[in-house]
Homo-oligomer: A and B are copies of this chain.
Amino acid sequence: MKIRELCENAKQASRELAMLPAKDKNRALIEIATALERRTGEILRENRDDVREGKEARLSNSLLDRLMLDEDRIRDMAWSLRNIASLPDPVGEVIDGWRLPNGLEIKKIRVPFGVLAVIYEARPNVTVDAAGLCLKTGNAVILRGGSASLHSIRMLNEVINGALIDAGLPANSVSLIESRDRSHLKQLLTMSEYIDLVIPRGGESLKEYLKKNSKIPVIYAAGGNCHIFVDASADLEKAVNIVVNAKVQRPGVCNAAETLLVHRDIAADFIPLIVKELAKRKVRLHMDTAGRLFLTGRSKAEESVTAATDVHYATEFLDLEMAVRVVDSVEEAIGHISEYGTGHSEAIVTNDLESSRKFSSSVDAACVYINASTRFTDGGEFGMGAEIGISTQKLHARGPLGLRELTSTKYVISGDGQVRG
């Protein structure tokens, strides 16, 4: 496979895609959804090969679970495409416009980027999700999935390409780099002439690799070391609900909370209560010395609480495990978050207007919550309909990356002969 040729073809396809009205793009998305359902048998057959090879290579159970497809998961992929088809098309949206004193009319319009490269790991469904989001936004996409899922994603790509041709779209709108090592990826990351943006969906090692090797702009989605600060004036019941939800509802994701900060003035009431509630849900706690002074010593739940260290504060547990620290003020909470946070999602539980104002203006993160769970940081929850990831960088897009975030803009300026004086 020649990477440059593949990139040229993608660029060519992107020119056609950029011009397509929403109805043509939506028809293609629905065509792909139907093809996925029709060809479920073929997809599952290829997927079984991946799973068998994965078992032979002794992949972990959690990796095998991510790799594995079944009829439900394929139905979910098809649903996701039909959902994307139902969303408004961001391309062509006029997001600003004004008239200059000389009569020139300026419009700022959303346009596709051109060609995106999406680099991902085990989950084969990203193939379909990324293809759907890119097609909807008029972008061609080059996919580079994990080597463990090569049989599955090759088949998914074949299904997508067949459906694109049936729908009258250029087949090169979606292309796949099939390789089991990073040599092709490395070459891909030099193709700044053709590719406008790289979106990684993977862990820290992929991120470091891209930082070092990509000559193309990248939107990074870093991890989430998220905090909940329970202020002196917090409603205790709400605070318990929010902490439990943010920690327990789905601990393995980036918007789950990892550290609980408790205001000293409420600690005597709140700490025994939250320790009990979290213990019920099997959450292991690492608490600072000041916090442990507020333990009553009378409950079994408290026995399993261990001492917190800086390492715990810096850890994204992604598990039923949480650090707890007592702070003297909202300022101290903000200071802790500024030291250990990763700029993802941070929450305060408070009834004090001044604290809420300070927290929301001083905490430097993609999403700052007042009296709500950090778990809402999600394109679906935000009402964007779909997302390709959550950005913690500040350039271009911060927070959930929905359809709009997959577009650039252009200025169109209309006049009747104006020249500059």
Contact = CB atoms under 8 A, between A and B. Distances in A.
Interface in A349-390: 356, 360-362, 364-373, 375-376, 381-383
A397 to B, nearest CB: 8
27 contacts: A18-B362, A19-B362, A100-B381, A111-B364, A196-B394, A197-B394, A197-B395, A212-B215, A238-B417, A241-B417, A356-B414, A366-B410, A367-B411, A369-B413, A369-B415, A371-B414, A371-B418, A372-B413, A372-B417, A373-B418, A373-B419, A376-B413, A382-B411, A396-B396, A398-B408, A398-B409, A398-B410
Given A100-B383, A217-B217, A376 B410 contact: no
A287 B235 CA distance: 77
Nearest to A364: B114
Contacts of A327: none
A371 B411 contact: no
A114 B382 CA distance: 25
Interface string A199-242: 00000000000011001010100000000000000010110011
Contact of A217 (B246, B393, B417): B393
A408 B365 CA distance: 11
A285 B242 CA distance: 71
A419 B243 CA distance: 9
A184 interface: no
A211 to B, nearest CB: 5
A249 interface: yes
Q: How many copies does the complex hold?
A: 2
A386 to B, nearest CB: 16
A79 interface: no
A391 to B, nearest CB: 10
A104 interface: yes
B217 A211 contact: no
Interface residues of A, number: 66
A412 B360 contact: yes
A19 B408 CA distance: 29
Contacts of A212: 215
A205 to B, nearest CB: 16
A69 B370 CA distance: 52
A420 interface: yes
B410 A368 contact: yes
Interface in A180-196: 192, 196
B242 A417 contact: yes
Contacts of A365: 410
A384 to B, nearest CB: 10
A104 B372 contact: yes
A415 B367 contact: no
| Among A197, A368, A370, A413, residue most surrounded by chain B Cβ atoms (within 10 Å) | A413
Contact of A399 (B217, B369, B398, B411): B411
A413 B375 contact: no
Nearest to A96: B404
